[in-house]
C-alpha cells in the first residue's frame, strides 16, 4: 500500500452522499471555556465561531431549524460518568459555571432549541434524533467544537441515526491543527461530507421558500 495518504484512500473512501432536501443546523458546544484565555480549554477557535455564526445567520434567513448543544453537569457531577472521570477539564461545565455560557457574539434565539448533554455526542442520552425525525429532517449541517471530540462523535451518531451529516470545515475548531485535520479527513472518508463554508452557505440559501413550495 502507498504511503501517500490521498493515494492510499483514493478509490476506496472518496464517495460523497450529497445534500438532502430538509436540513437542520447543529452548533456543537460553542461555549465560553474555549474562548477564555485563562481556561485550560482555551482553543483559539474564534475563526470557527465567526464562520459558524455566518452559517447560522444563513440558516435563520432560510427558515432552517437551528440547534445548539452545551455540556451541563450536576453541581456534584453525579451525572458525569466515565467521560467526566477521564476528561478533567469537564469540571468547567458544572451547572452555573460562567465557562459553560455562550460566548460573546453567539446569540441564541428564543425559538431555537438548546440540547444539554453530558457526553460527547449531541445524540447520546438526548432526544435530538427523535426531534429531528419529527421535524422531517434528513440532513444535519454540523459546526462546532471540538473537531476531534464532540463534533466527530455527533457526526458519527448522525450517520448512525440515518441523517446525512454535512460538516462545515471552517466552522469547526480544535486546540491543535493535527487532530483537527485528521478528524476532518476521517469524517469525510467514512461518515460525512466535509464541505466549505461557501458550499454550506449556498446550500442553506437555496432552502429559502422551499417549505412553501413543497
Q: What's the confidence (pLDDT) of residue 211?
A: 57
Mean pLDDT of the chain: 95
Please report which confidence band the pLDDT of residue 209 belongs to, taking 50, 70 and 90 as the band edges.
confident
What's CA 32's distance to the chain center, in Å? 16
pLDDT digits (tens, 9 = 90+) for 92-137: 999 999 999 999 999 999 999 999 999 999 999 999 999 999 999 9
Helix (H) or strand (E) holding 139: strand 139-145
Rounded to whole angstroms, how far apart are CA atoms 214 and 210? 6
Q: How many CB atoms lie within 10 A of CB 143?
A: 29
pLDDT of residue 18 exceeding 70, the answer is yes
| Active-site residue set | 150
The candidate with the shortest Cα–Cα distance to 81, out of 120, 116, 30, is 120
Report pTM. Answer: 0.93
pLDDT digits (tens, 9 = 90+) for 178-208: 999 999 999 999 999 999 999 999 999 999 9
pLDDT of residue 213 exceeding 50, the answer is no
Q: Are 31 and 99 in contact (CB under 8 A)?
A: yes
Residue showing cell 452557505: 201
Please report which confidence band the pLDDT of residue 11 belongs to, taking 50, 70 and 90 as the band edges.
low
What's CA 161's distance to the chain center, in Å? 15
Rounded to whole angstroms, how far apart are CA atoms 214 and 212? 6
Amino acid at each position: 500500500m502507498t504511503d501517500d495518504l490521498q493515494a492510499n484512500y483514493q478509490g476506496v473512501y472518496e464517495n460523497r452522499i450529497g445534500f438532502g432536501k430538509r436540513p437542520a443546523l447543529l452548533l456543537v458546544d460553542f461555549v465560553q471555556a474555549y474562548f477564555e484565555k485563562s481556561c485550560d480549554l482555551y482553543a483559539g477557535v474564534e475563526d470557527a465561531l465567526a464562520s459558524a455564526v455566518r452559517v447560522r445567520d444563513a440558516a435563520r434567513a432560510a427558515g432552517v431549524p437551528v440547534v445548539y448543544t452545551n455540556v451541563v453537569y450536576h453541581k456534584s457531577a453525579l451525572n458525569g460518568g466515565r467521560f467526566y472521570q477521564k476528561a478533567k477539564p469537564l469540571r468547567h461545565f458544572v451547572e452555573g459555571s460562567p465557562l459553560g455560557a455562550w460566548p460573546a457574539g453567539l446569540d441564541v434565539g428564543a425559538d431555537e432549541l438548546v440540547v444539554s448533554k453530558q457526553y460527547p455526542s449531541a445524540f447520546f442520552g438526548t432526544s435530538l434524533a427523535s426531534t429531528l425525525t419529527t421535524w422531517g429532517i434528513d440532513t444535519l449541517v454540523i459546526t462546532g467544537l471540538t473537531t476531534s471530540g464532540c463534533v466527530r462523535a455527533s457526526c458519527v451518531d448522525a450517520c448512525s441515526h440515518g441523517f446525512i451529516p454535512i460538516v462545515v470545515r471552517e466552522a469547526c475548531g480544535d486546540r491543535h491543527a493535527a487532530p483537527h485535520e485528521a478528524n476532518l479527513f476521517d469524517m469525510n472518508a467514512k461518515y460525512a461530507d466535509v464541505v466549505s463554508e461557501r458550499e454550506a452557505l449556498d446550500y442553506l440559501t437555496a432552502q429559502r421558500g422551499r417549505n412553501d413550495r413543497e
